């Protein structure tokens, strides 16, 4: 799973953690509109339904981790407007610790999400005020030293990289939600015990269209696990030279918003439970599938029993 030095460090460290998971990255308030079809240029659609929902990559992942019984804390920035108050309340209700988060004099990040009600596919348009950006010097290094696992996204890359360096130094595990490619992506990937890529990222990094070949090409610069989510094609996890592919579960999708974030939460939970690699990726796929049958991001988190029940079924 890991090289021996990482494994020994992990075994020593987890005996006295304060938190199971510390998350650094995005939170958002989503304005969700359900449409009778996919958005098209110069077209007008009447929304069949509209709601305000809380989400964001790391915020949703932490919400799911907390619902699975893990002790979580969020490090990030909120706006001081109504949206900021709304998502802080939602995270507090979900039992995510916010002691190390900060409130800025700015509007909170928000997104407009257009959901195709025929299949649950969505289009996301988002905005984040620059005053919400978090710098590397704002990372609470002492706090990170109290975590079993650090989960990051690529929103504020300098901050994520700084946090990952601290976590590696303490022996904590690092998972990352890598959703785009930039000059900093290779560094963030290298510092992650398990980078979890969105479907398009490995191809963009390697030029390989086939996800397995792309992961194997990335293997030359990374000795840990490599994982990619593939939507309706499930997910792949490369463990050394062994590839584990979990097909997607067939469900009636209502809204795919947050499915990738909940995949990562279930992956983290199963990883901390020391499950075998094939079980981890199948468990995460099951969680993501169930989330697609519900609206919203933080509101679509399944229970552990629901995930286990689906895992017991045949694909």
**Residue 244's domain is classified under what CATH number?**
3.40.1190.20
Is 180 within a domain?
A: yes
Does residue 11 have a pLDDT over 70? no
Mean pLDDT of 295-307: 93
Q: Is the dihedral of CA 11, 63, 290, 118 positive or negative?
A: negative
pLDDT band at 7; cut points 50, 70, 90: very low
pLDDT tens figures, 258-271: 999 999 999 999 99
Mean pLDDT of the chain: 91
Q: Is residue 37 part of a domain?
A: no
> Which domain, by its residues, includes 185?
4-27+56-103+134-311
* 121 is a domain residue: no
Within 8 A by CB and 6+ apart from 114, the residues are 33, 35, 39, 122, 123, 124, 125
- Mean predicted confidence (pLDDT) in 169-191: 96
Cβ neighbors of 201 (< 8 A, separation 6 or more) are 178, 179, 180, 181, 185, 228
Averaged pLDDT, 134-142: 95
- What is the Cα–Cα distance from 75 to 86, expressed in whole angstroms? 17
Per-residue pLDDT tens over the stretch 45-97: 888 888 888 999 999 999 999 999 999 999 999 999 999 999 999 999 999 99
Q: Is residue 91 part of a domain?
A: yes
Number of domains in the chain: 1
Output phi, psi for 313, to 5 deg.
Answer: -85, 160
Average pLDDT, stretch 225-241? Answer: 96
Q: What are phi and psi of 195, to 5 degrees?
A: -75, 135
Whether 111 maps to a domain, the answer reads no
pLDDT given for residue 16 in this prediction? 55
Residue 244 located in a structural domain: yes
Asked if residue 77 is part of any domain, the answer here is yes
CA dihedral 112, 120, 59, 278 (to 10 degrees): -150
Residue 148 pLDDT > 60, yes or no? yes
Phi, psi of 284, rounded to the nearest 5 degrees: -65, -40
Residue 196: its pLDDT value, please? 98
Helical pair 57-67 and 259-272, crossing angle rounded to 10 deg: 50
Residue 209 lies in a domain: yes
Tokens 């509007």 appear where?
107
Tell me: pLDDT of 98 over 90.
Answer: yes
């Amino acid at each position: 799973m890991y090289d021996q030095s990482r494994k020994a460090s992990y075994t020593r460290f987890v005996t006295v953690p304060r938190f199971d998971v510390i998350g650094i990255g995005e939170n958002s308030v989503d304005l969700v509109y359900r449409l009778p079809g996919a958005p098209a240029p110069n077209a007008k659609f009447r929304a069949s339904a509209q709601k305000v929902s809380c989400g964001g990559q790391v915020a949703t992942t932490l919400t799911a981790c907390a619902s699975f019984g893990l002790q979580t804390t969020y490090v990030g920035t909120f706006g001081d407007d109504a949206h900021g108050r709304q998502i802080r309340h939602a995270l507090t209700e979900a039992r995510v610790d916010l002691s190390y988060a900060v409130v800025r004099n700015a509007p909170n990040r928000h997104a407009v999400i257009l959901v195709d009600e025929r299949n649950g596919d969505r289009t996301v348009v988002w905005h984040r005020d620059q005053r919400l950006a978090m710098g590397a010097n704002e990372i609470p290094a002492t706090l990170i030293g109290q975590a079993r696992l650090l989960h990051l996204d690529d929103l504020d890359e300098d901050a994520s990289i700084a946090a990952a360096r601290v976590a590696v130094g303490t022996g904590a595990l690092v998972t990352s939600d890598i959703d785009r490619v930039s000059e900093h992506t290779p560094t963030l990937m290298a510092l992650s015990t398990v980078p979890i890529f969105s479907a398009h990222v490995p191809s963009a990094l390697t030029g390989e269209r086939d996800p397995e070949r792309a992961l194997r090409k990335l293997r030359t610069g990374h000795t840990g696990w490599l994982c990619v989510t593939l939507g309706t094609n499930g997910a792949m996890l490369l463990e050394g030279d062994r590839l584990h592919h979990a097909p997607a579960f067939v469900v009636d999708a209502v809204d795919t918003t947050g499915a990738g974030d909940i995949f990562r939460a279930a992956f983290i939970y199963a990883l901390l439970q020391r499950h075998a690699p094939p079980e981890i990726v199948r468990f995460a796929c099951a969680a993501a599938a169930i989330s697609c049958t519900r609206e919203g991001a933080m509101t679509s988190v399944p229970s552990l029993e629901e995930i286990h029940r689906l895992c017991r079924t045949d694909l």
